[in-house]
Amino acid sequence: MTVPIVPKKIKLAAGNDTLSIEWSDGHISAYPYRHLRDKCPCATCSESSSSRHVEPGPFPILGEKPLRPERAELVGRYALQIYWSDGHSSGIYSFPYLRELCPCAECAWRHSGEEASPRVC
């Protein structure tokens, strides 16, 4: 049995609009908020992003609250639930899914060609 890789330290505001995760294997992931929000795994978001996803334009509407995680909670032993400033919170980001989403070059290369792991909702 292999020991699962889990987060050790999660920083919601790690600077430059990113959330960072330090993993139990030492790897550090830095996720731009927009990237993480777009990859929300909840049923509503994954449905809409596959059928009619609208990219946010370069000029956000005046007065719109900037996107950021307001808080986050652990779900059981396997996932993180993020409460976004846009009011959305139903996405449960499992640790393996978060690891898959790591945007660093090394991980992106490793995950290219791999199938996404099946979701747990």
Partner 1 sequence: MENKLSPEIVLNALKAVKDPDLHRDIVSLGFIKDLVVTDSRVAFTIQLTTPACPVRDQLAAQARQAVQALGIRDVDVRLTSAVMGGRPGKIELIPNVKNTVAVASGKGGVGKSTVAANLAVALKRAGASVGLMDTDVYGPSAPILMGGSSAPAVVEGKSGPPGEYGIKLISMAYFLPKDEAVIWRGPMLHKTIQQFLGDVRWGELDYLIMDLPPGTGDIQLSLSQTIPLTGAVIVSTPQDLALTVAAKAIAMFQKLNVPILGIVENMSYYVCPKCGHREDIFGHGGAREAANKLGFPFLGEIPLDINVRVQSDSGKPVALDEATPYGKTFQEIAGALAAQISIANFQKEQEISIE
Neighbours of 111 (CB within 10 A): 14
Out of 36, 40, 67, 92, point to the residue binding partner 1 (CB under 8 A): 92
Tell me which amino acid residue 51 is. S
In angstroms, rounded to a whole number, what is the distance separating the alpha carbons of residues 42 and 119?
10
Say how far residue 65 (Cα) sits from the centre of its chain.
19
Work out whether 26 is an interface residue with partner 1 (CB under 8 A): no
Work out whether 42 is an interface residue with partner 1 (CB under 8 A): no
Out of 75, 83, 89, 111, point to the residue binding partner 1 (CB under 8 A): 75
Q: Which residues bind partner 1 (CB under 8 A)?
A: 1, 4, 6-12, 24, 72-80, 92, 94-95, 120
